[in-house]
Chains A and B, each alone.
Chain A
Amino acid sequence: ETGVTQSPTHLIKTRGQQVTLRCSSQSGHNTVSWYQQALGQGPQFIFQYYREEENGRGNFPPRFSGLQFPNYSSELNVNALELDDSALYLCASSLGSYTDTQYFGPGTRLTVL
């Protein structure tokens, strides 16, 4: 196990609602990245946080936002949920650059109805 934890495990929301997903990084890791994985696809990079600041973003709209806290835990917030937001959301921590080895958490399965 990587030591990266995520909550909740599963979540069901309706279109238009807002959701917050949480992640606790592996001890000693100061970088956290969030990925969206649709069924049958590879993880898609959403954004990365390093020392509490966003430090890279993928092709996701502004309604996807995040936070990193002093203890390096992190949140992913998604506003105005759409049906296509249904996916597995993965948090990954790493020692340095977000292109380094990613240690993934178990993920949060989000279903938008």
Chain B
Amino acid sequence: GQQVMQIPQYQHVQEGEDFTTYCNSSTTLSNIQWYKQRPGGHPVFLIQLVKSGEVKKQKRLTFQFGEAKKNSSLHITATQTTDVGTYFCAAPISRDSGGSNYKLTFGKGTLLTVNP
């Protein structure tokens, strides 16, 4: 079925380095959401992007939605140890060919570890 592909699966950085995770879909998305899950925790909503080419910033985090609304990225500038966790993108994906019965489909996530 249709999926949301996320890369890389893992990323280890030194504190202070930048980090980027990418999310791709074969179909045009109505919106894309980003969540963060700390080790042992549950997903926490970060942001939703709706418009083509949209860019949103939250402090050191920058979120982008592609012009074709098929891809998105999350970039963290100057990572800190508090950024450790798994970052998921999620998007409404139709469960049938008729374009209805949408479900929120999560990528497999990118696990970020930060070496202090």
Which residues of A does B touch, CB under 8 Å?
2, 33, 35, 40-45, 48, 56, 58-59, 88, 90, 97-99, 101-107
Contact = CB atoms under 8 A, between A and B. Distances in A.
Contact of B105 (A41, A45, A104): A45
Interface string B95-116: 1000001111111110000000
Contact of B106 (A2, A44, A88, A98): A44
B92 interface: yes
A98 B104 contact: yes
Nearest to B45: A101
Interface residues of B, number: 25
Interface of B: 1, 6, 30-31, 33, 35, 41-45, 48, 88, 90, 92, 95, 101-109
Contacts of B106: 35, 42-44
A29 B44 CA distance: 16
A19 to B, nearest CB: 19
